[in-house]
Structure 1
Amino acid sequence: MRIELGDEEQPEIGLIALIDCIFFLLMFFMVATSFKQKETQQKDKAIPITLPRSAATLKLQDAAPDPLVIQVDRAGQVAIGDEKLSLEALHERLRDEAQRQPGRPVRIEGDGNASYQSIVHVLDLCQFEGLANIAMRARRE
């Protein structure tokens, strides 16, 4: 049995569905590309923060040994006293201090505009050499 459907129409591609698919692909690639750009931009930027000031101070005990004071300026340069050190020289100095006085306290004085990564790098070096008594100093108001 044969069913007559009328004139034989040529099959055609639905243009509306094709435009929708292309539109969704275009939107997907636009969004994916914008996420990729934001990730690379965030790696290059440092968040500008100002560290808080402390209103309270603690008096140190007289019997405690003098702490090793490490200063970090806003450019990330490290100094002990008046002597500016590279990170390799700081690593060697911390190794010597850990061997001479293992329990000696360390105080890190960071500039309010120093990058957080610079401070964390100094903390990591202290921890790597076994110096566990570490303090950070804030400025008084």
Structure 2
Amino acid sequence: MGFLWVKALHIIFVISWFAGLFYLPRIFVNLAMVAPGNEAERQRLLLMARKLYRFMTILMMPAVGFGLVLWLYFGVGLHGPGNGWMHAKLALVLGLIGFHLWCKRILREFENGSNTRSHQWFRWFNEIPTVALFIIVPLVVIKPF
């Protein structure tokens, strides 16, 4: 029964973390589009971005933690042949953690007024977690290799 609870909690926290990974770059799109001199809108969006980043960081920790418990304690993807899917998933998760940290760096750039990227760039940046999700879910469900 413990395995199923850990698995359920892992899924819940992953979904919650992804919600932040999807939405924070959308806030960056809006920040990149703020007209010069519109300080009230800029500050409102920065406040939203800061709060969301803190919240999604809190959600990332148990998502990764429960995933590690599934992998190292319950042996999911650890034993037997055909566990290449787990290596690919772990690489993508590390990439998502990197994306998460990259978002913090971008947020700091917006805070100190040094962002030079356009809203179009952020629209493409916003697709990174979507692509990762479309790869990770089939890896976990289908286990193709």
Same fold (TM over 0.5): no
Q: What is the TM-score normalised by the length of structure 2?
A: 0.21
Which of the pair has more CA radius of gyration? 1
More strand by share: 1
More helix by share: 2
